[in-house]
Amino acid sequence: MIIYLLCLILFCCGLYCILRKRNIIKIILGIIIAEYAVNLFFILVAYRMEGRSPILSSDVEIVNMVDPLPQALVLTAIVIGLATTALMVALAMRIYEKYKTFDITKIKELRG
């Protein structure tokens, strides 16, 4: 219970960073933090008390394994996060090239 809450607090740290910071790189960092939090949350809900990792061994029989499905899904989610981050960094660097700044209050050619 408390641990879920701590995890969501981490998510909200990222959310705060995205919503309030005015620097492009800070916004990207906020998204990375929020992604970490969601991934951790997914693994947390899969954990089993006194669990073992879901890898079988040929000699001993392992009981009480943790849930393998969320682990597989988080692997996918990490890759998707990496892809989005790479794309955003590329955009940020091109924006820097054009405007010579990372400050989004100074990058305002479009009206909201």
Minimum distance of other proteins from residue 83's CB (angstroms): 4
Residues 19-48 that bind other proteins (CB under 8 A): 19-36, 38-48
Is 60 an interacting residue with respect to other proteins (CB under 8 A)? no
Q: Which residue has the tokens 């954990």?
A: 47
Size of the residue set binding other proteins (CB under 8 A): 101
Residue 52 CB, shortest distance to other proteins, in Å, is 6
Place of tokens 């061994």: 57
The distance of closest approach from Cβ of residue 23 to other proteins in the complex, given in angstroms and rounded to an integer, is 7
Q: Are 72 and 45 in contact (CB under 8 A)?
A: no
4, 39 Cβ separation under 8 angstroms: no
Window 72 to 101, contacts with other proteins (CB under 8 A): 72-101
Q: Are 102 and 88 in contact (CB under 8 A)?
A: no
CB of residue 7 vs other proteins: minimum separation in angstroms?
A: 7
Contacts for 21 with CB less than 8 Å, ≥ 6 apart:
27, 30
